[in-house]
Structure formats: structure tokens, C-alpha cells
Structure 1
Amino acid sequence: MLQKIKRLSMQRWGWALVVLSCLGLLGTALYFQYGLDMQPCIKCIYIRSAFAGVLLAGVIGLLGAKNTSIRVIALAGMLAAAAFGIQQAYDLLDIEQLLAEGGFFSCSLFAEFPGWLALDKWLPSIFEPTGSCGDTSWQFLGESMAFWSAFALWGYAAVAAVLFLAQFARISDNPYRC
């Protein structure tokens, strides 16, 4: 079973699917921002950067699908970016819950990216926070954007974890073995 999964990770179409799905989700986020005028808060920006990290890992995997080391690096990056995004999405869900219960919360107005990765300075139209945390004006099936972001990131994390474990399986050259 792990051998089949490892073989799948060696094919470029799977990595292309990760890249295309991330581009679609990031494009959707930009549509919400610029098309529907829903301004992103700092947590939204961090979640967006996590999707960009998954996208970057997907591109690395796409370019080096046949190389085991590059695949492992891409999968580790995908898992790390998804985990970061999940944490940010849960933080935002907690903020939404607090505000729904009548509490008060004020999030940071400025992104705190490390100096070597100043996304808010390099691409302010994509990574600069312009809204306040806890806005749940958009919902799908009764859940907020933070919930659906966490859902998508959990999907990426699960796929990356299974593929990462499969990298340690040995592929047999014997055509009579499964």
C-alpha cells in the first residue's frame, strides 16, 4: 500500500493538483478581498501565507518529483505550512467565538513576518492586513472562512503526512510482488 502511495508521489500530476488547488484558494481569497471588499485581518493574512507556503512546497515537489530528497523537503514544507495555517485558523475561530459571545478582542494591525520574509512589504496588495479580526459576514453551510481554511489545510496536512510516511517504503523491482 505504501509503495503505491510512494509511486503516486513520484508523479507530477499530483503535485500539479496541489499547486492548482492552492492557486485556486489564493485566487478566491483575493476575489473576496478585491471583488467583494472583504478586508483581511492579520490572522487571515497568516492563513494566506500558509497557503502560499503549501503552494511553494507544491512547486518544489512538481519540479523534483523524481528525486527523493526534494520530495521529502517538499512534503515537510507542505506539512509545516499547513500546520502553521491550521494554528492561525484555530486562533481566528477562537476570536470569532469570543466576539460572538459578546467579548472584546483587538488584533494587531501590522503583520509580524520575519525580516528575511517580509511578505507584507514585498507584496502588500496580497499580504498586508487591512481588516479587523472576527468578521464573519461571509459563511458557507453555517461556517466561517476560518473554518473552511482550517478544513482545507487539514486536507493538505493529511495528504502530506501520508505521502511523507510513504517515502520510507521500499519500492520492489520484482513484478510478482505487490
Structure 2
Amino acid sequence: MIKKRITQLNTFPLKRIYWLSYIIIGLILLATALYFQHMLEELPCLICIQIRLLISLLIIVSIAGLLLRHSRWLALVHLSVAAIAIAMVERSYMLLGTERGFVFADCGFELGLPAWLPLEQVLPWLYRVETSCGYTPELIFGITMAEALMVMSVLFLLISFGLVLASFLRLLTSD
């Protein structure tokens, strides 16, 4: 029974829909952020832009996963997705903590990217920090953007770690 579930978990990332769903969800999240920024004039803070960078990286890694899903490099893609999930949980926690007041962080205007990667100059409409950290806008039913990001990041972390664990269990039981 357990072996059957592990096999099902291991075959799921081989399907195109798995990687396409990450790409589509990432694009929807970025589009939502841009809608709030440009249409509703809710300016992004440093942590918001860092989360946008992580979502952009997830889209790029998901494209790699889509292309490499039948390759031995898929394990590296899984680990990359898990690392992005960890970073998203940490950044979401900082954003929620700043909003709720249980984290006191210095949130400046400097993104901290290296000089050879000036995304805030190349794509300022997407990656420029425009305000200090504080409250996040309400999405629906009183749920703020920070709360929604925290829940989505934790779910993303659970899914990605479940698949990493399943791939390692497959390696252990393949003998």
C-alpha cells in the first residue's frame, strides 16, 4: 500500500500538468501583485518584492522541471523547488510578522541584488521597492495578502517536501 502511494507520488512530477500548474499559479500570483500595485495603487515593500523574485524563480525552475521531467536532473529541480518553498515561508512569515507586529524588522528600500543583476532598474514596474513594510492590502473576506501568502507558502512547502521525500524513498526502495 505504501509502495503504491510512493509510486503515485513519484509519477506525478513526470506529468506535464504538475509543472504547468506551478507556472500558471506563479503567473497568476505575479499578475495579482501587479494589479494591486498598478491598478489599486498598493505600493510594494522590500519583502513583497523579494517574494515576487521567489515566485519568478519558481516559474523559471518550473519551466526547467517541465523540460527535464524525464531526466535524472529532476531530483535537482525538486530540491530547488523545496528551497524556494522554504524561502517563501520565511519571507511570508516576516511579512506577516511585520504586519501583525510580532516581528520588528528593518525594512529598507535597497533590494540588495548584485550589480550584475539590476532587476530593479531593468524591470522597475515589477521589481522596484516603493514603500516601507507595514500593512498589506485585504484580498477578500478580511484576509490580508500576508495571511494568504503564509498559507499558500506552507502548502507549497508541504507539497514540495512530500515529493522530495517520495523521490528519496523511491531511491531507497529501488534496490
Q: Same fold (TM over 0.5)?
A: yes
Code of the aligned partner of 2:27: L
C-alpha distance in structure 2 between counterparts of 1:115 and 1:72, whole Å: 31
Q: Does 1:86 align with 2:89?
A: yes
- Whether 2:77 is the aligned partner of 1:74: answer yes
Q: TM-score, normalised by structure 2?
A: 0.85
Aligned partner of residue 133 in structure 1, secondary structure? coil
SS of equivalent residue, structure 1 residue 15: helix
Distance 1:26 1:108 in 2: 22
> Alignment length, in residue pairs?
167
TM-score of the superposition, structure 1-length normalised? 0.84
Question: How many angstroms does 1:17 deviate by?
Answer: 0.8
Q: In structure 2, the residue corresponding to 1:6 is in which secondary structure?
A: helix
- Separation of aligned partners in 2, 1:123 and 1:36: 19
The question of whether the paired residues in 2 share the 8 Å contact of 1:50 and 1:85 is answered with yes
Does 1:113 find its partner at 2:113? yes
8 Å CA contact 2:51, 2:88 repeated in 1: yes
1:42 pairs with 2:46 = yes
Q: Is the 8 A contact 1:57 1:75 kept in 2?
A: no
Report the alpha carbon displacement of residue 115 of structure 1 after superposing the two structures with TM: 3.8
Q: Distance in 2 between matches of 1:162 and 1:106?
A: 34
Indicate the RMSD between aligned Cα atoms, in angstroms: 2.3
Give the secondary structure class of the aligned counterpart of 1:68. Answer: coil
Gaps of 5+ in 1: 173-178
Q: Which residue does the alignment assign to 2:140?
A: 140
Q: CA deviation at 1:3?
A: 0.9
Identity %: 28
Q: Secondary structure at the match of 1:33?
A: helix
Runs of 4+ in 1 over 4 A off after TM superposition: none
Worse-matched range after superposition: 109-118 or 157-166: 109-118
**Is 140-149 or 11-20 further displaced after alignment?**
140-149
Q: Match for residue 22 of structure 2?
A: 18
Deviations 1:130-168 (A, max 9, x none): 122112342433332111112212222211111112223
Closer, same or farther in 2 for the Cα pair 1:66/1:82, shift >3 Å? same
CA distance in 1, matches of 2:116, 2:75: 24
- Give the structure 2 partner of residue 161 of structure 1: 161
How far the C-alpha of 1:118 sits from its partner, in A, is 3.5
Residue type of the partner of 1:33?
Q
